[in-house]
Amino acid sequence: MKNLSCPFLPRLARGFRSLPSTAYLAFACCLALAACRPPHAAPLRVQWFTMGTVAAVQCADHSAAPQARDLAQAAFDDLDRELSAWKNDSALAAVNDAAGTGQPVSVSPAFATVLRTALAFSKESDGAFNPLIGPIMCAWGFNGADPRPSPPGEAELKAAAALADWRAIDLTSAPTSATVRLPTAGMRLDLGAIAKGYAVDLAWQRLKAAGHTNLLVDLGGNLRAIGEAAPGRGGWRTGVRNPFAENALVGMFLMRDGEAVATSGNYERFVEIEGVRYAHIMDGRTGRPVTGMAGTTIIAPDAMTADALSTTLFVLGPEKGAAMLRSHPGCEALWIPDTPDSLTFFATPGFAERLKPLGPLAYTLNVIRP
Ligand code: AMP
Ligand code: MG
């Protein structure tokens, strides 16, 4: 491990717009306003609210923004119909409603791809990533109902953890059809840790196919780049949010053409029970919210991998998480432990090299090798 001392800037870089704090952990900005490149205006950022979060496209060519926005939203809508945990008529809801009936439910190729990838991450992480986390989310009151008066007891957590047995998911796929069956009533798929990444990949592919060249697509902090923010820029400057201060960054790095970035954070979604905050990322093996980690940011070759890894590595922490990255070439990670009084971060060598500090407040960066 190598120690580097870095500062951070406790406010947004010039040119950022203030964004809803719950929606963003990492977000991108263009510094094309820099005086050295007067002919190039800053990319146009168009943002909107969808799927319970903020989506955006940033386009170097301003005239491309309306079409890019429409294409991206159409891709998000297509997947939302399939994978939404909040819509009663989504394919995901149909699978959950059929749990315990013995009936397999037909799902689309996209659904099967997301679930198959999720299960591969579960297997590889020994259950740290768990697409059947739904019963545990419900036990802690993340199902949209009134807040619980007290935390779930041992018996309730044990029952929820038993229903979160991802190995029991029955996914069959043939070239043209796929089915999913959940064997026990009460089992609930929750693909919230991977679906947005897949949606960003789908939007990115459609945008590329439509001829868009220099653009960044973003769904709730899941980002993927095409080209660069301005000629010669080499990519898109992207900020890592400081989990301990709203609208502040711990540093910036350059996202290259084709790359994706995702962040998981304990401040994004939480419930409050008896005055204590419980964050939304669970350890399915204990049935309890993960503690000790404030945020993880991943750079990956595609957005689904970035999204799945950001959640998995949040649960695993730096040492086990770095070991897992050995089988994910091209992926880099940053961990920010939940220790606001002593800012000590962990990063893979590639992330440490790319992360540029922003200001005067020091943090320690421990470099951890996969
Ligand atoms: P993300 O923000 O991508 O880290 O996803 C977090 C969301 O994924 C949560 O709000 C839950 O819906 C779901 N989730 C929580 N814990 C896990 C877990 N251990 N594995 C997979 N999904 C999870
Ligand atoms: Mg995720």
Question: How distant, in Å, are the alpha carbons of 238, 284, 346 from that of 298?
Answer: 12, 21, 12
Question: How distant, in Å, are the alpha carbons of 61, 170, 232, 237 from that of 212?
Answer: 9, 39, 18, 19
Atom of ligand 1 nearest to the CA of 282: 16
What separation in Å is there between the alpha carbon of 132 and the centre of ligand 1?
10
What separation in Å is there between the alpha carbon of 307 and the centre of ligand 2?
4
Q: Strands (DSSP E) along 115-226, which ranges?
A: 170-173, 178-181, 215-219, 222-226
115 CB under 6 A from ligand 1?
no
Global pTM value = 0.89
CA distance 196 to 166: 20
CA–CA–CA angle 57, 61, 65 (5° rounding): 40
Is 220 within 8 Å of 54 (Cβ atoms)? yes
Among 117, 190, 222, which is best to mutate for testing ligand 1, by the most ligand atoms less than 8 A from CB?
Answer: 190
> Atom 10 (ligand 1): residue with closest C-alpha?
280
CA distance 174 to 306: 27
User: How far does CA 177 lie from the centroid of its chain?
Assistant: 28
pLDDT string in tens for the chain (370-residue length): 333 322 222 222 222 223 333 333 344 443 333 334 445 689 999 999 998 899 999 999 999 999 999 999 999 999 999 999 888 999 999 999 999 999 999 999 999 999 999 999 999 999 999 999 999 999 999 987 778 899 999 999 999 999 999 999 999 988 788 999 999 999 999 999 999 999 999 999 999 999 999 999 999 999 999 999 999 999 999 999 999 998 889 999 999 999 999 999 999 999 999 999 999 999 999 999 999 999 999 999 999 999 999 999 999 999 999 999 999 999 999 999 999 998 999 999 999 999 998 876 678 999 999 8
User: How far does CA 135 lie from the centroid of its chain?
Assistant: 21
Q: Which ligand is nearest to the CA of 128?
A: 1
119 CB under 6 A from ligand 1?
no
| Amino acid at the residue 141 | G
Among 280, 288, 316, 320, which is best to mutate for testing ligand 1, by the most ligand atoms less than 8 A from CB?
Answer: 280
117 CB under 6 A from ligand 1?
no
Rounded (10°) angle between helices 303-324 and 195-209: 130
What separation in Å is there between the alpha carbon of 262 and the centre of ligand 2?
7
- 3-state SS assignment for residue 160: helix
What separation in Å is there between the alpha carbon of 280 and the centre of ligand 1?
7
What separation in Å is there between the alpha carbon of 255 and the centre of ligand 1?
24
140 CB under 6 A from ligand 1?
no
